[in-house]
Structure 1
Amino acid sequence: MQVKQILLLGAFCTSAFITSAAPVSLIPGINSKAHGKTLLRILKEEQFGTIRGRVTTSDGNAASSVSVSLRGTHFGAITNDNGEYQIRRVPVGDYTIVVSAVGLHPKEKQIHVSEKGTVYADFSLNENHSELAEVQIHSNKNKYKVTKVSPSLRLQSPLIEVPQNIQVVTSQLMADQQTFDVVDGITRNVSGALRVGHWDAQYANIYMRGTSIPAFRNGMNQKMPWGPLADDAATIDRIEFIKGPAGFMMANGEPGGSYNIVTKKPTGENHSSVSLSGGGYNLGRAAIDLDGKLSRDGRLLFRLNLAAQTKGSYNKYNYTDKYIIAPVISYQIDSNTVITAEYTTQHVEAQALGTYGFSPKGFGDTDPSLFIGDPSLDPVKLSDHNVTFYLNHRLNNNWKLNGQVAYVRYGMFGGTPWPSTIAPNGDMRRYLNISEELAINKNAQVSLTGDIGTGPIVHRILTGIDMGNLKTWGDFSSVQLADLQLANNATFNIYNPIYGIPAANIPVFDRSRSLQVRSGSNTYATNLTYTGAYLQDELRMLDGNLRLTLAGRFTHAVTVGKTNAAQISDDAFSPRVGLSYSITKDFSAYGLYDQSFLPVSNATNLPNAAPFKPIRGNNIEFGLKKNWFEGRWNTTFAAYQITKNNVLTAIYDGSNIATGNQIQLGETKSKGIELDINGEVVKNLNLVLNYAYTHARVTKDNNPVLVGNPIPNSAKHITNGWLSYRFRRESSALNGLGLSGGYQIQLGRYAGSTSVPLTLPSYYRFDAGISYEKGRVGVSAVVNNLLDRRLLTQGSYSKLAKETPTSVSYYTYIYEMPRNGRLTITYKFK
């Protein structure tokens, strides 16, 4: 030990005795407290330095979860997902730095730490093939838990340090549950998230904290009036659910949060696989994932995902067919710069977009097989094309520059059958409504991230600019063909349906005019352009244990309408203040205040009416985060209150009938608590468990009767669980066998109706699965809705102003899939 270190140790021990008011006679060599003060001053003047760097594998890829330590000391760190590490407050001196990980040959370097200096030490590690088997065994350790968000969220700190509740659904969890797209049960893995059934063949309609939440893809807002198409599991690496507003990520949206689809990118390793699936209701699916190198030096990489699926329905004659093509290419220009090009296209054909049931009596009155369409009608066709380019550049060991641009084109072509009248005995008259939409979404983002040190404080900076333009054209009203007549003028009855519309009675839509021209005469043509600039400073104090986040976002948004009153330009500033403190290394507490705003197009038709103001949301949140047993699993507890102002509500004329116009006098308030548990609770036993209590109510409205009503499409209590265990013992006959099971429960559910508050039946669903892995082959089977309960994913009520003997108010609802099984066989090439 160096003389200076011995003196420091002595000073520390002496100061400890003195500050404990120890008698002077008990401290050898010290005759007064003045000596102790002198030694304390020496201790405080001791200078420290910082060590940081990046660890990569021999092919240039980031090496995460690598141990970095200073030999003979307690100082060390673990590399993050980008291969980066940092060791702070290292006393001045000479050290040997050692890096090591299972499956990689260790390396070491001699370094010198100077006063207030930063030492940069990068490493490139070679594979240790003798340990690859052990790597495979450990690869299942945290398949339900992650420590950091994806780079597309631009946050640099670990999740346990972020002052916000962010939950991540991994692709491994999706595979265990045999989830094939975003509509297919994703929300069960996140507290308080629920899917409200609608056009399930088209897009996911997800609610959280009392509001609908927009879809993001790789950090870019993809929200459309009826899109984008639900992402397929073949393209998904993970899904990140961001609770509450997020000024660093989104400019315009609901305050309840958002979800971010992170698509699969090349890894430089052979993670290729092929899978075949089959199941109930004529489910058939094939998917292939090719991941590898196009150059021997590993600088040019590719990934190609292909999938094709056909799926029937519990609705008679309904079906959904689709295919997905998703190639990605990345090129490492040098050690600091990577460019990536990605293209994804989906094509969907469905006999009907939704699986609605209708009844004049109540929710769930009809059989799930009821289909108000007809096999003689043309199916609906949907497609989207998504092109994205990425540029990632490391300016130095501290700073990174990221840029990306995306172009999405989404289209829908077809017709939708819908009831025009329903009689008390179930007789229904149907019409065919033209259903056509085109949406073009353009996004561009540039962000800069890095650290700046000012004395004992480290400023973790996030700043950037993002721009977007969304144009949509829709035609859902220009052609409504009033009556779909059956043969011999037979009556369609929801309790005894007859199918087979004669060819002569099938209407033909007039599409002689373009969609853009037809859309110009209705309310479905929109044009929203926004530009946002944001700056976030995370001040890391007390060796990074205390973190104060100060952030703000300025957004300029323009919505173009058909009149001057409907053309609105909004400038909004959204502040963000967060505080996070690490009580211990693996236990933190946080508080957050954040805002959101949502531009509103059009305006009321009242004389001299001003344009609508943006809808504003304010979120106050507190939470606790804890990693258990060396980070194998974690818990997150959050409590929040969201107030949403300037909500559009119907102008009330004093009677039970609204005038049909709207005014901004509404306010809603959502408050609740959330608990999420994820990870490997004991060896080989992985768990997802969550609970949410949501109290969402109308607090102001033009109609005083509505004040206090629940917010539609919310649930008071939601809890979900999924447990998966795999036997891992070579000597056991059960080695490779996996057992899994889960439940979903929703209580206090409210239908999608504001004027008439209605409750939906409680939701109880149970699932179970079994799987087996041996070498490169895996076989898994899952049975969903094990008890075959009649579950509803949506409900609403259409109240007529005047009921007649042939036309009454009616209930609308969508069933969950009845009991069904799935079997998947997977072969991994490595």
Structure 2
Amino acid sequence: MQFKKILLFGAMCTFAFVANALPDSTGSEATLHLKKGTHSSILKEDQKYGAVRGRITTSDGSVASQVSIGLKGTKFGTLTNEDGEYHIRRVPAGTYTLVVSAVGLYPKEKQITVTDGAVVVADFSLNENRLELETVQINTNTKKYKVDKVSSSLRLQSPLIEVPQNIRVVTDKLLADQQVFDIVDGVTRNVSGTVRTGHWDAQYANISTRGTTIPAFRNGMNMKMPWGPLADDAATIDRIEFIKGPSGFMMANGEPGGIYNVVTKKPTGQNKSSVSLSGGGFNLARVAVDLDGKLSKDGRLLYRLNVAAQTKGSYNKYNYTDKYIIAPVISYQIDSNTIITAEYTTQHVEAQALSTYGFSPKGLGDTDPSFFIGDPALDPNKLSDHNITLYFNHKLNQTWKLNAQVAYVSYGLKGGTPWPSTIAPNGDMKRYLNISEELAINKNAQVSIMGDVTTGSVIHRVMTGVDFGNLKTWGDFASVQEPDLKLAGTTVFNIYNPTYGIPTANIPVFDRSKSIQVRSGLPANLPYLTNLTYTGIYLQDEIRMLDEKLRLTLAGRFTHAVTVGKTALTQISDNAFSPRLGLSYSILKDFSAYTLYDQSFLPQGGQDFEGNTFKPVRGNNIELGLKKDWLDGKWNATAAIYQITKKNVLAADPRRGLALPSGTGNYPTNISVQLGEQRFRGFELDIAGEIVNGLNLILNYAYTKTKVTEDTNPLYIDRPVAGSVKHITNGWLSYRFKKQGSILNGFGLNGGYQIQIGRNAGSIAVPFQLPEYYRFDAGASYEKGKFNISLLINNLLDRRLLTQGSYTAVAAPTATAVSYYTYIYEVPRNARLSVTYKFK
């Protein structure tokens, strides 16, 4: 109740402030647009208004973004967006000279006449001024860490400062500064309240925000699978967008805590080609090539090709991960309004073991990080995914756009996983080996239409569309087991002094004669058997009033979902309506306040032990926030408070491992049930951008409080949700000297910290806390011309940090089998050195 009172009070204060800030009925708002020259500096009440819009291209047909458009002798002006479009609204009727200019392009002027209620369309084609391009030094560090708009895959047309939601964007420049090679590599440090739980690190990211695990999206389409998809490699990433709170309305179906959306690299029409060589600790070696250019002289046919190969050892003895990535993209501009794009990405990974777990009967972090539960004699695991996506983008007119895309993803895993059968008090361990195999096929299709409708002084920014998805998965993680991987002779495997070298005769041979689809029907594999189909239709109207300073968002989504169980009797069909209500007000041009109420709907795959399908996750979010740009938009600060309620949550079945009533065995150890309700409350602060010339900063803090509010077991009520962290703060600082003639020109320093306190782990049934997490990194770089060399030392203090922890209870401990802890270490201190050459 106390938190609801705070939210209500905050909303009342926000609306009261907005009401006081609104112009009165005397027409004083008209003084916001002051004019020079022949136009009066004070506009009259009956002043008539129109608008000017258009599109800017270069002589070769490429779009011209960030081009300055202005009415000569006035303060009216704007910049073109990523599509080369501009829109100057609420222009008083009259005759003006429209001026277009940008560095590297010859300026142009055009005389226009604005009339009441009309829109003047003025397109330009600009010629390149190559002399200026060669002699003018462009500051490439501008907005390295800050962006003003999300990608088109999120379908949001307004600038981030106007969107009534906390959305953070991790840029490719930030990833390069932090020497991130994939999405597992510390990406979460750049977003408040966001962490990654270690598990099968060679495979997928397992990211959480606001206390809940969030699904992986790729270019606006849901990639969530029981275990996949493979973690995206940095070679294919243009940016990563973290959307806080329910995102089901914008991007199909999502968790109430949020989603993360990986935007892949597309052709730019410019020569952004580069090659990078990297090496580092634990036998890391990597090469990445990015080719970006034109396949036709007129610039209508473009390509982008990213290729990367990497080999990496591990702090686990004998473990390794090798992979390669190939990602070609081709786009063709049919005409000035239509572009089609085809993209293919494939990843192939080989890992000696999927997990890097440590085990101990004594406590967390008891064994040395080098401990390896696997064995070099075992066959490695092989993983792969293939992603084919087709895009169609069409401008219906100057106001409306049509976007469509379809995607097909196939993900596969074949291997085996060793795991403890028993652990004795002295550390003697018996290991079993079970098959690890999965196949997942994910199909997505989306069509959306968006544009503006003007009714008097009110603008309706409309977005509508439909989307479709189908996910099928088959998994086998239990059908073949060997209860004891015996070493030669009488040697016993001990976690404190492990011996390796399992004789071939003691290694089981997996029987894959039956298809994965057949083996998925076994009781122990039912959680990995998924057949989920959904269709959604949505409509959003962002009503922009009072010279677009006040923005009211009204939206809704209808979703029809069908989850097919093991038999037709266990099929579930769901229909859900998810409303969305948001309000954003620009207190100043660069300062806005917002409030949001949103709901989410997420169908769930998998089944319980009886073969019944699970009900969809339902969630709602109440949120209040402030957004402020500083220093002419060079850096931004966002603060938000929220409350999320989540229902139909999956949790461990309390019958796991217990004897079956029939006496024929035990319940599987991986079955789940649906609990009642969980609640998440918190505060977030994010700061990102260029604070002073050459100094870029990422700084964030989050407070998150979670608890179970309803449960089938009353003992679990009020317990924290496992995986949540009460206090998280991260910082990253990068400074580059930029003084011509100085010996330090081009030299840079960077570094950062990560701190996590109050880390809830285990399960709701057996909760405990992980040790506090303190990590520090530091590095240096030098940039000259087309070359860049970077050195970064991670985990500078070489602390033994844990990224995961759990507890396995043995019902009746014996001299050879006791309860034990499971945990994953953060990578110990390691260095990375990268050399990059840019062709342009």
TM class by shorter chain equals over 0.9
Where does 1:282-681 land on structure 2 (aligned, <5 Å)? 282-521=283-522, 522-523=525-526, 524-601=528-605, 612-648=614-650, 664-681=674-691
> Structure 2 length as normaliser, TM-score?
0.92
Amino acid corresponding to residue 630 of structure 2 in structure 1? W
Mark the CA change 1:698 to 1:283 in structure 2 (over 3 Å): closer, same or farther: same
Residue 740 in structure 1 maps to residue 750 in structure 2: yes
How many angstroms apart in 2 are the aligned matches of 1:759 and 1:501?
36
Q: Which residue of 1 aligns with 2:795?
A: 785
User: What letter corresponds to residue 587 of structure 2 in structure 1?
Assistant: I
Taking a change above 3 Å as real, the CA distance of residues 207 and 155 of structure 1, as seen in their structure-2 partners, is same
Change (3 A) 1:126 1:90: same
2:239 and 2:105 map into 1 onto residues whose CA distance is: 26
Greater shift after overlay, 267-276 or 664-673? 664-673
Cα 1:604/1:415, change in 2 over 3 Å: closer
Query: In the alignment, is residue 180 of structure 1 matched against residue 190 of structure 2?
Result: no
C-alpha distance in 2 between matches for 1:44 and 1:667:
54
8 A contact 1:615–1:645 mirrored in 2: yes
Return the match for 1:704 from 686, 690, 714: 714
What is the alpha-carbon distance in structure 1 between the residues aligned to residue 402 and residue 363 of structure 2? 56
Aligned-partner residue type, residue 803 of structure 2: T
Alpha-carbon RMSD? 2.1
Q: CA deviation at 1:801?
A: 1.9
SS at match of 2:89: strand
3-state SS, counterpart of residue 141 of structure 1: coil
Of the structure 1 ranges 711-720 and 43-52, higher mean CA displacement relative to structure 2 is found in 43-52
Match of 2:17 in 1: none
Letter in 1 for 2:625: G
Deviation (angstroms), 1:566: 2.5
The answer as to whether partners of 2:245 and 2:258 remain within 8 angstroms in 1 is: yes
Structure 2 distance, partners of 1:651, 1:820, is 40
Distance 1:689 1:777 in 2: 28
Over residues 23-51 of structure 1, what are the superposed CA-to-partner deviations in whole Å (9 max), with x where a residue is unaligned? Answer: xxxxxxxxxxxxxxxx9x99332211011
CA distance in 1, matches of 2:468, 2:209: 26
Q: Please report how far the alpha carbon of residue 55 of structure 1 lies from its aligned counterpart in structure 2 after TM superposition.
A: 1.6
2-structure distance, mates of 1:690, 1:343: 35
Equivalent residues of 2:701, 2:727 under 8 A apart? yes
How many angstroms apart in 2 are the aligned matches of 1:651 and 1:793?
A: 24
Asked whether the equivalents of residues 565 and 602 of structure 1 are also in contact (C-alpha less than 8 Å), the reply is: no
Give the aligned residue type for 1:228: P
Figure out how many residues of one structure are paired with residues of the other and give that number: 792
Provide the rounded CA distance (Å) in 1 between the counterparts of 2:509 and 2:147.
52
- Tell me the equivalent position of 2:762: 752
Whole-angstrom CA distance in 1 between matches of 2:274 and 2:393: 28
Residue identity opposite 1:749 in structure 2: R
On the 8 A contact 1:247/1:575 being kept in 2, the answer is no
Residues of 1 paired with 2:183 and 2:347: CA distance? 14
Identity rate, percent: 72
Aligned equivalents of 1:402 and 1:209: distance in 2? 31
Deviations 1:667-696 (A, max 9, x none): 110010111111000001000111110001
Following superposition, the deviation at residue 250 of structure 1 comes to 3.2
Q: Distance in 2 between matches of 1:638 and 1:393?
A: 36
CA distance in 1, matches of 2:541, 2:453: 10
1:200 counterpart SS class: coil
Which residue pairs with 1:818 in the alignment?
Answer: 828
CA contact (8 A) 1:652 1:702 kept: no
What displacement does 1:81 show? 1.9
- Structure 2 segments unaligned to the other structure (5+ residues): 1-22, 31-39, 662-666
Answer whether contact 1:464 1:535 (CA < 8 A) is retained: yes
Matches of 2:569 and 2:679, distance apart in 1: 29
1:128, CA displacement in angstroms? 2.3
Secondary structure of residue in 1 paired with 2:203: coil
Compute the displacement of 1:652 (Å).
6.8
Give the CA deviation at 1:605.
6.5
TM-score (norm 1): 0.93
CA drift at 1:647: 2.6
For residues 766 and 283 of structure 2, the distance between their equivalents in structure 1, rounded to whole angstroms, comes to: 38
Q: Which structure would you say has the larger Rg?
A: 1
Report the 3-state secondary structure (helix = DSSP H, G, I; strand = E; otherwise coil) of the residue aligned with 1:487: coil
SS at match of 1:517: helix
- Residue 762 of structure 1 pairs with residue 766 of structure 2: no
CA contact (8 A) 1:751 1:794 kept: yes
Greater shift in the superposed pair: 331-340 or 662-671: 662-671
Report the alpha carbon displacement of residue 664 of structure 1 after superposing the two structures with TM: 4.4
In structure 1, the residue matched to 2:6 is none
**C-alpha separation in 1, matches of 2:573 and 2:772:** 44
Q: Distance in 2 between matches of 1:702 and 1:403?
A: 44
The question of whether the paired residues in 1 share the 8 Å contact of 2:539 and 2:556 is answered with yes
Residues 565 and 613 in structure 2, CA contact (< 8 A), matched pair in contact too: no
- SS class of match (1:130): helix
Aligned equivalent of 1:106: 107
Aligned residue runs from structure 1 range 802-817, under 5 A: 802-817=812-827
**What residue is the counterpart of 1:166 in the other structure?**
167
- Could you tell me which of 765, 775, 782 is aligned with 2:785? 775
**Counterpart residue identity of residue 219, structure 2:** N
For residues 123 and 42 of structure 1, the distance between their equivalents in structure 2, rounded to whole angstroms, comes to 30
Instruction: Report the CA distance between 1:705 and its aligned residue.
Output: 1.4
Residue pair 2:248, 2:255 contacting (<8 A) in 1 also: no
Task: Work out the CA distance in 2 between the residues paired with 1:646 and 1:116.
Answer: 51
Aligned to 2:664: none
Instruction: Give, in angstroms, the shift of residue 107 of structure 1.
Output: 1.2
